[in-house]
Chains A and B, each alone.
Chain A
């Protein structure tokens, strides 16, 4: 099983700040990494797939980068609606796994 770790666990920022979230895989996942956003009481929402491709309808302030074992999700200027939990997820092999999440909260 490929284990994903995310850092930091919590990120306290203000609207307008840049958010940089990290995800590290226990072995290479190539570019098969996605990022999801989850708000309280809601199902996760796909933001980025295959490391750097924005999903349909996702604002340009969300961007993803990385390959192999190290990946980054960047939110260029936080909007009030961006405060949420973010999960990375790999699909490199048939057993898909998620990271533990990074909570972005208001400072």
Chain B
């Protein structure tokens, strides 16, 4: 059974870059059939899609974040990563990585437990 685990600093200073990694276990990013995603949830608020990709295909970013986003994949470690630059307090959120079936992209079957990132000086 695939499991996802987010990791990264819990505190980031304003204007700096937020960096998170999602480690996948029990399944391979390379195996195909699934898309991989980042989603965030502001404290006490709803959910916001950040972006998603299918390995070897395009990456799709939320236009509201696209100019500040960089994502990457490390297949040797079975990890994918997110970098969000020039952060402000508005980027304080619980960040999830997730997986779903590519043929039903948009449906999320597996979520990480989430990692809280606070932007504060």
Give residues of chain B (37-61) contacting chain A, Cβ–Cβ below 8 Å: 45-49, 52, 60
Chain B interface residue number, banded? 20 to 34
B-contact bits for A35-47, CB 8 A (1 contact / 0 none):
0100000011110
- With an 8 Å Cβ cutoff, the count of chain A residues facing the other chain is 23
Task: Find out whether the CB atom of A46 lies under 8 angstroms from the CB atom of B106.
Answer: no
CA distance A99 to B114 in the complex (A): 19
Residues of A within 8 A of B45 (CB): 100
Q: A43-B112, A94-B60 are in contact. Are A87 and B107 (CB under 8 A)?
A: no
Using a CB–CB cutoff of 8 Å, the interface residues on chain B facing chain A are 45-49, 52, 60, 62-63, 96, 104-109, 111-114
Using a CB–CB cutoff of 8 Å, the interface residues on chain A facing chain B are 1, 32, 34, 36, 43-46, 49-50, 55, 87, 89-91, 94-101
